[in-house]
Chain A
Amino acid sequence: MPLKLFECDTVIPERKRHVYIKQPGEDTSMFLPSANIDTIPGSLSERGCSYCGAKLVIGGVLKDTIQLIHGPVGCAYNTWHTKRYPSDKDNYQLKYVCSTDVKEKNVVFGAEKLLKKNILEAFAAFPDYKRMIIYTTCATALIGDDPKAVAKEVEKELGDVDIFCSQCAGFAGVSQSKGHHVFNIDWMDEKVGTFEPEIHSDYTVNMIGDYNIQGDSVVLSDYFHRMGIQVVAHFTGNETYDALRSMHRAQLNVVNCARSAGYIANELKKKYGIPRLDVDTWGFNYVAESLRKVGTFFGLEDKAEQVIAEDYAKWEPKLKWYKERLEGKKVCIWTGGPRLWHWTKALEDDLGVEVVAMASKFGHQEDFEKVIARGNIGTIYIDDGNELEFFEVLKEKKVDLIFTGPRVGELVKKLHIPYINGHAYHNGPYMGFEGWVNCARDMYNGINSPIWKLAGKDIRKGE
């Protein structure tokens, strides 16, 4: 019985379709968890909303773009500054977000005038910023506001600004995944091909699905730079609005997060014939393989080998130190989707740990095909998990560390189990050779912190 019903789910037996335990000899044509479908009523989902997927994950990363949230003020706050993606433009995108602060009277009488006023105020407040993304939210989608029409009016009036409207309300899909999808497709349809970049290398790529979490993009850019490759656009880490309009000029799409950005890679292939090369950017062996593939595509094999040799010499001894101390530890990966399959083998091969359970908030069945192919026999694979299920996993597996977000992280901390922020990292970057050592260090520090013993003491008893 590889599809598993947790005890806590007895009253919601539909959850059985979302949980799988891999058995010897099985493959994903035999069993594949349901995913990217409605949350089962009765299950307290950890998912985010579709607007959040568009804003927090993709659009909000841009470093030179005013972020204007057309909705109640909470929609702005809850998708602002909670993900740590810095930029080399004084972290503008982490410091500022704008909201139209829609109220009940706007719901009754319409909010387009309010939107226009806010757009003009925002451009006036940030006179050096000429690019803007407007996000529809649930309230303004329901009342039928037309932000595109308003944006066109403003573009005409101001003359030197460009505005993109992300029309993906929170209720548009079953999770944040829908927001990734809508943003990708609309950006492709409306903005790619509208700006011509300056090309200064014979070798050009788009780095797709990397959001500069604590500097990831900087690490990857450095590798490409050392290989003589120009990154036309990072989708969207540490990137500008106009660079994303230039994506049609790259020769190769290098895709990391296929879940959040595979769509635009597919469309670029279909419309412009730019091929898609999927890579893993976490883990020593994977990163080396990825650089070799990109190098081979361009005939730059020697350059790739040089980068790999230099970075192995610098970072591998440090990784080995941590591997000796982490070997045999049991970990869980409870994150969004792709990090399950990006990380499971990388953690096991490079650090000697055992990944015993993986849960995805918004992954599709494609993500489960990937992770089940890479994951262990006996490992538990969960779609859209809830807290009671997590408790059962912890009781059964006795884990040493969990990669997850702050919400579930706070839960497991109360059980005195260390967690590493699997979304925004503890002390990243985690990508690349250097990054994987950072990840190993955070794991080591988490597991060996004295806080777990201290937290178990009851000071009222004078222990």
Chain B
Amino acid sequence: MQDKIEQLFLYFQERCLWQFHSRSWDREDNINGITDDVIKLLTGKRVEMETPEDKCHYADSRILVDDLKKRFPWILELKDSERSAVVEGARDKLMAVVVTNSKNAELNNENY
């Protein structure tokens, strides 16, 4: 499982600009919002789209899930609970690298 988490983490890092928004709160919103949607889409659950921000997260996650299935076909072999766990594992590592332990000195500036 750890190997699968690492594969997804590296893929997210390389591919997804939303994790690198300017401030920590934007990064957290994006990482949580989009990976939540990714888990829902991978486990056949409905994604809520009440706000424009929800729609934006959905757009990112929909394209991401399509790509994940192509690049990592093993994901289709997993049970729903395992799919959730592997995405959550990658999310936790993303959060640690680009938010909690980030060396970016501008992340917590109050203003943009």
- Say whether A associates with B: yes
B104 touches A32 (CB 8 A): yes
A364 touches B103 (CB 8 A): no
Total A-B contacts with CB atoms under 8 angstroms apart = 94
Chain A proximity of B37: nearest CB distance (Å):
11
Identify the interface centre among B14, B51, B101, B103: most chain A CB within 10 Å of its CB: B103
Contact bitstring A277-317, B, C-beta under 8 A = 1, else 0: 11110000000010011101100000000000000000000
- B67 cross-chain contacts in A, Cβ below 8 A: 289
Please classify the interface of chain B as helix (H, G, I), strand (E, B), loop, or mixed, using the class held by over half of its residues.
helix
- A289 cross-chain contacts in B, Cβ below 8 A: 63, 67
B56 touches A374 (CB 8 A): no
Q: List 8 A-B contacts (CB under 8 A).
A: A29-B96, A185-B112, A269-B53, A280-B17, A293-B63, A366-B20, A373-B20, A374-B13
A28 touches B60 (CB 8 A): no
- B79 cross-chain contacts in A, Cβ below 8 A: none
Bound CA–CA A277/B57 (angstroms): 9
Bound CA–CA A269/B29 (angstroms): 13
Chain B proximity of A254: nearest CB distance (Å):
10
Chain A interface residue bracket vs B? 35 or more
Bound CA–CA A280/B18 (angstroms): 12
Bound CA–CA A263/B51 (angstroms): 21
Contact bitstring A339-366, B, C-beta under 8 A = 1, else 0: 0000001000000000000000000111
* 9 more A-B residue pairs beyond the given contacts A274-B52, A275-B55, A345-B14, with a C-beta to C-beta distance below 8 A: A27-B97, A266-B21, A277-B60, A293-B59, A364-B104, A364-B106, A365-B106, A366-B104, A374-B14
- B104 cross-chain contacts in A, Cβ below 8 A: 28, 32, 364-366, 369
Chain B proximity of A108: nearest CB distance (Å):
37
Contact bitstring A94-129, B, C-beta under 8 A = 1, else 0: 000000000000000000000000000000000000
Nearest B residue to A301, CB-CB: B62
Q: Which of A252, A258, A279, A365 contacts B103 (CB 8 A)?
A: A365
Chain B interface residue bracket vs A? 20 to 34
Bound CA–CA A185/B23 (angstroms): 16
Bound CA–CA A263/B60 (angstroms): 20
Bound CA–CA A397/B21 (angstroms): 32
- B23 cross-chain contacts in A, Cβ below 8 A: 266
Chain A proximity of B70: nearest CB distance (Å):
12
Q: Interface on A for B, CB 8 Å cutoff?
A: 27-29, 31-32, 36, 185, 251-252, 258, 262-263, 266-267, 269-270, 273-280, 289, 292-294, 296-297, 345, 364-366, 369-370, 373-374
Does B88 interact with chain A (Cβ within 8 Å)? no
- B106 cross-chain contacts in A, Cβ below 8 A: 36, 364-366
A369 touches B20 (CB 8 A): yes
Q: Which of B22, B51, B62 contacts A366 (CB 8 A)?
A: B22
Bound CA–CA A262/B20 (angstroms): 11
Nearest B residue to A375, CB-CB: B14
- B8 cross-chain contacts in A, Cβ below 8 A: none
